[in-house]
Amino acid sequence: MNICGIELKSNNAILSVIKIEKEKINFLNTKVKKIILENEEDKNSLLKFQDEIDNYLEQNKVEKIALKKRAKKGTFAGGAVTFKSEAIIQLNTICDVTFVTSQAISKYTKSNDVELPVDLNKYQEQAYLSSLLLI
């Protein structure tokens, strides 16, 4: 089973895919590591973002998405662009989306010995940790 972790930051969907085989977790070092929503006010840009997300999920045979939940208000609230990106990801026709919180990620890393893959970029860390929560 392939699980994609996604963290939304500004107009970027940061991606990380893990493959579960015989209870072993393998990080897939995919060529595409983030997908950018170029212009949130342009219909063609939104459709392009949707196509790129769907293609990524299909190409990597993703069966589940773990989407890191954004704060809706307060200091760390997500911007308007992330709300649109989130909706587009939720509306994908390939697989189900599960939201994971920062608190759940923190709790998981404290109670499990998490070793980050060598090929994982620093900016992909939260997306990777999000995917681990769906195992």
- Identify the helix (H) or strand (E) that includes residue 90: helix 80-90
CA quadruple 34, 111, 103, 92: dihedral, nearest 10: 40
Q: Residues 27-42: pLDDT tens digits?
A: 999 999 999 999 999 9
Q: Residues 113-133: pLDDT tens digits?
A: 999 999 999 999 999 999 999
pLDDT band at 80 (very low <50, low <70, confident <90, very high): confident
Average pLDDT, the chain: 95
pTM, two decimal places: 0.95
What are the distances in angstroms from CA 34 to CA 4, 83, 87, 113?
Answer: 12, 17, 17, 26
Identify whether the C-beta of residue 56 lies closer than 8 Å to the C-beta of residue 15: yes
pLDDT of residue 106: 97
For residue 100, what are the β-bridge partners?
Answer: 68
Does residue 75 surpass a pLDDT of 70?
Answer: no
Does residue 78 surpass a pLDDT of 90?
Answer: no
Count of C-beta atoms within a 10 Å radius of residue 16: 29
CA-CA distance, 12 to 8, in Å (whole number)? 6
DSSP string across 4-69 = EEEEEETTEEEEEEEEEETTEEEEE--S--EEE---TT-HHHHHHHHHHHHHHHHHTTEEEEEEEP
pLDDT of residue 76: 60
Q: Which domains does the chain have, with CATH numbers?
A: 2-132 (3.30.420.10)
